[in-house]
Structure 1
Amino acid sequence: MAHIELGNESPGIGGLMEYRPDTGRALSGLAEVLLRADETIDRDDNTLTRGERELIATYVSSLNQCKFCSTSHAAFAAAQLPGGAEAVVDTCADLDTAPVSDKVKALLRVAGAVQQSGKAVTPELVAAARETGATDLEIHDTVLIAAAFCMYNRYVDGLGTWAPDDPAGYEAAAQRIVAEGYMARHREPAV
């Protein structure tokens, strides 16, 4: 049970968004831009796929031990990455042997530093990411995704929301997110 009365039974951040739809729209909009907007950004210096961005969110949420966010975003990443769930689990378990590109590994190291403290992101980590081909925009977005997920994780856990144990719910949510995005829950019903 959440620390406050939410007036709904939805798990994790969903319950919080139903409780406060105005902030829910803003938080969903941020997630939409950071995790899904690859074809809407009019720039060619961001090659991170949706799955790779979801993997950054998963990695940070895993480091923060946020069950709801790490499990849900792991499902979202798995649905969009080659190697699926196994690739996500292997990446979160050991970056050195992760089945992802060197660039993604370097960016995940940057994200892990952000999870500790923004000041933990060193020029050496950024240089290592650049050496693997990461652009300034990709480094920017990695830092922002990591920082945002520290906030989302603390929001979800700080208000004591619940997380389902059944993986089927996360997999169904992944299909919805992949197909419709993060803003779907905030769209007005058609008349």
Structure 2
Amino acid sequence: MAHIDLGVDEKRFPGIIGLRMYRPETAKPLYDLADALLRAPNSLSRGERELIAAYVSSGNECDFCRDSHSAFAAAQLDGGLRLVRDACVDPDAADISPKLRALLRIAGAVRVDGRSVTTELVEAARGAGATDVEIHDTVLIAAAFSMFNRYVDGLGTVVPDDPAAYEMSAQVIVAHGYSA
């Protein structure tokens, strides 16, 4: 049970979904931001951007965001859930591109503290082929998901224990986005 009464069945509307229903006026800009960061046209695929969100959420130990964005990434990446889990545990050993690996290092630094992003991390990402827009978007995804993680966990929202719940949500998100 969440720390506050969300006025919804939290089993049916877990995590940020219940929070969206509780305060739709604050949820709308958050969902619009998620759409802009994770679904808008970009040189990084939607699956890669979802993987960055899952990686940051994993590092922040936010179970709801980790599991949901892992499912969303898996639905859009050839390696599926195994690849996503491997990348969240150890990007250096995961079967991902050097560019994505370098971007995950930047995302991990942002997750700890934005000032942890160093010139060396940025130059390594550029050396692996990342553009300045991709570096920018990685930093913003990592910062936004650190906020989303704290929002979901700070209010003690319910986390589904059935992985199928995330797979069903993935189908909706992949087809329609976050703001729909």
Give the residue type in structure 2 aligned to 1:6: L
Q: Structure 1 CA distance, aligned partners of 2:5 and 2:161?
A: 22
Q: Structure 2 CA distance, aligned partners of 1:92 and 1:150?
A: 15
Give the C-alpha shift of residue 132 in structure 1. Answer: 0.5
Matched, 1:14 2:17: yes
Q: Deviations over 1:50-78 (max 9, x none)?
A: 00000000000000000000000000000
Identical residues among aligned pairs (%): 66
- Indicate the SS of the match to 1:161: coil
State the TM-score, normalized to the length of structure 2.
0.97
Matched, 1:50 2:46: yes
Matched, 1:172 2:168: yes
The count of residues paired between Structure 1 and Structure 2 equals 177
Q: Deviations over 1:94-132 (max 9, x none)?
A: 111111100000000000000000000000000000000
Name 1:127's counterpart in structure 2: 123
Candidates 35, 40, 46, aligned match of 2:38: 35
Name 1:159's counterpart in structure 2: 155
Matched, 1:144 2:140: yes
Runs of 4+ in structure 1 deviating by more than 4 angstroms, as ranges, are none
RMSD: 0.6
Structure 1 spans left out of the alignment, 5+ residues: 39-45, 185-191
Q: Structure 2 CA distance, aligned partners of 1:22 and 1:131?
A: 42
Q: Structure 2 CA distance, aligned partners of 1:167 and 1:98?
A: 22
State the TM-score, normalized to the length of structure 1.
0.92
Q: Structure 2 CA distance, aligned partners of 1:53 and 1:156?
A: 20
